[in-house]
Chain A
Amino acid sequence: MSRTVRQRPAAWAVIGLVLFTLTWELWVRLADVKPFITIEPSRIAGELADNPRFWLGQTWLTAWHTMVGVGVALALGVVVGAVLAAARPVEWAVQPVLVLVMVTPWVAYITSVVNWLGAGTPTILFMVSFVTFPPMVFAAVQGMRSADVAARELLASVDAGRREVFWRLRLPSALPSLFTALRFGTGLGLAAAYFSEGGSVASGVGLGEVGRRGTQNQGGGYPIVWGSIVCAAILGVLFLVGVNLLERRVLRWHSSQRAATS
C-alpha cells in the first residue's frame, strides 16, 4: 500500500480504456448510431465470447502472417542493410527504389501480386514482407553507420575481419534502430496482413478475410466486422508489448532502456 493509485501508470491505463469503452457504448445507445457506422462494444464482446475458438483461430492466422512476413523483412533488411552500409554507391542506387516501395499505396497493386503469386498465403506473406522491408533496411543502414568511430578504429588497429566487425560491432550498434523499426514494422505489417487477407481471394485466411466477408453480409455481418477489428487491435497491442519486452531484454545496455527501468 506504499504506492497510491495516483502513481500507478497501469491503473490509469485501465481507467482510460474503460472510460473509452463506456463512452463508445453510451454513444451508440443514446445517439442510436446505425450499425453500419459502429455497434456497441458489448455486442462485439458477445460475438467474440460466442465463438472463441473461431476468433482465436483467425487471429492466430493473422498473427502468423504478420510475424513471418515481418521476420523475413527483418532478416533480409539486415543483410541488405549490411551491404548498403558497406558500399555508398550501392546505397545511392537502392535508396530511391526502397523509397518508391515505401510510398506506393499497396492497395493499388495487390491484384497484380495475386495474379503473380496466387491467392492466399503466398500473396499475404509477400505483401507483409514487401511493405515492411524498406523501413528495416533504412534502420539497419542507419544503425550500422552509427557504430562508434573509435571502436571501429580500435578493431582496425588489430586488423579485425569484416565479418568480425559485423558481428561484434555493426550489428549490435544497429539493434536500437532495428527495434524502433520493428515496433513500427509490426503495426505496418499487421495492417498489410489484414488488408491482404481480405484481398487475397482466398477464404479462411485470417481476420482480414473475415472482416471482408462481414462487410458483404448485409444482415448480421456487423458483429463479425467489428469482431475482426477488435481482434486485430488486440493483436497489435500484443505485438507492441512483445517487441517492448524483447527490447528490454536485448537492449539492457542501451540508455533508452536504462531510463525506462531504473
Chain B
Amino acid sequence: MTSPNGPGKATAGQGDITTQPIRSGRVSTGTDVRGISVSGAGKRFGTLEALTPVDLHVAPGEVVTLLGPSGCGKTTLLRMIAGLEPPTDGAITVDGDDPVAARSAKRFGFVPQSPALLPWRSVEANVRLLQEVNRAANPAALPDPLALLDAVGLTGFRSAMPHELSGGMQQRVALARAFALDAPYLLMDEPFAALDEITRADMRHLLAELCEPRNTAVVFVTHSIAEAVFLSDRVAVLSARPGRIVEVVDVDLPRPRTADLEDDPRFFTIETQLRRLLHEGSGR
C-alpha cells in the first residue's frame, strides 16, 4: 500500500508568499523511513475494538484522506499518528521516529474539529500561539503570522477577537495557526464539518491553495466525499466499526487543484467509486 505518486506536486504558483527553506534540519534519528508509516496499528478500548490493525504510508508532501462514517475510528487513527494516543497494536513512525517524539519536535500542524481559538486572544495572537510554546522545537525561521493571515484572506483582522468572526473565518485562523509552525505534516480532524456547504467548499479550495506551494503532507479526516476527492492524492476508505481500511484509492487528478475541477467528469467518477466503497464498508 505504498504511494504510487509520492511528493510529485506541481511547482508553486503566484500564491507562494513564504518561500520555505528546505527542511534539512529534520533528519530522522531512527530508521530512515521518510513520511508517516502506520504498520498494523490498531486500537482497542477494553473489549471494544475501535480500529482493526491498519497499514498506511503517507509520503512527505502527500495528501491522504481518511474517509469513513462516524465512529469508524478515523479520528482515533489520526490521534495515534499525532502521538496523542498510543496504539494498542502495531506501530506508527513519523520520519522513522515515534509519534510522541515527532510531537515534541513540533513536526505536526494540528487542526481540530472545532477551531479551538482562545477567546481572550486576538486573531494574530491565536496564530502565534503554537509558536510561543515549546519554543526549543521551533524551526530556525518561523513563518510570519501576518503573511499567513493574508494567505487565508484575513488581512486587516489581526486585532479582531475570535467572537467577532464567523465560523468560516474562525476556521481560517485555525488553518493559519496550523501553518505557523512550518511543520512538514498537517493533521486535520474533520476541520470543516461544522461549516455550511458553501463555506466548506471555500475552505477546501483555500486549503489546497495553501498546501500547494508548501509541499506539506496532510492527513485529512473527513466524511465528505467531495472534500476527499478534491484535496487528496490518495483516499483511504474506512469501514464502519470496527474500522478497517477497505481500500486505498488513488486520485489521479491534476495539480494544482482548483475549484473548477469539481465540475470535471473525472471528479465524479472518483466520487462515485468512493461512495460505492463507503456503502460496501458500512454493509449497506
Contact = CB atoms under 8 A, between A and B. Distances in A.
Q: Chain A contact residues: over half helix, strand or loop, or mixed?
A: helix
A157 interface: yes
Q: Chain B contact residues: over half helix, strand or loop, or mixed?
A: loop
Given A157-B84, A157-B103, A168 B118 contact: yes
A55 B116 CA distance: 51
A253 interface: yes
Given A161-B133, A168-B133, 20 more contacts: A150-B113, A153-B84, A154-B112, A154-B116, A154-B130, A157-B82, A157-B83, A157-B108, A158-B108, A158-B134, A159-B103, A164-B134, A168-B129, A172-B120, A175-B120, A253-B120, A253-B163, A254-B119, A255-B163, A258-B163
B106 interface: yes
B71 to A, nearest CB: 18
A89 to B, nearest CB: 22
A201 B179 CA distance: 65
Contacts of B181: 158
A237 interface: no
B110 interface: yes
Interface residues of B, number: 26
Interface of B: 82-84, 103-104, 106, 108, 110, 112-114, 116, 118-120, 129-130, 132-134, 137, 161-163, 181, 187
**Counting chain A CB atoms within 10 Å of each CB, which of B83, B119, B161, B181 scores highest?**
B119
Q: How large is the interface on A (under 10, 10 to 19, 20 to 34, 35 or more residues)?
A: 20 to 34
Interface string A137-165: 00000000000101101111111110011
A139 B113 CA distance: 28
A153 B112 contact: yes
Across the A-B interface, the 5 shortest Cβ-Cβ residue pairs: A157-B110, A160-B133, A150-B116, A150-B112, A159-B104
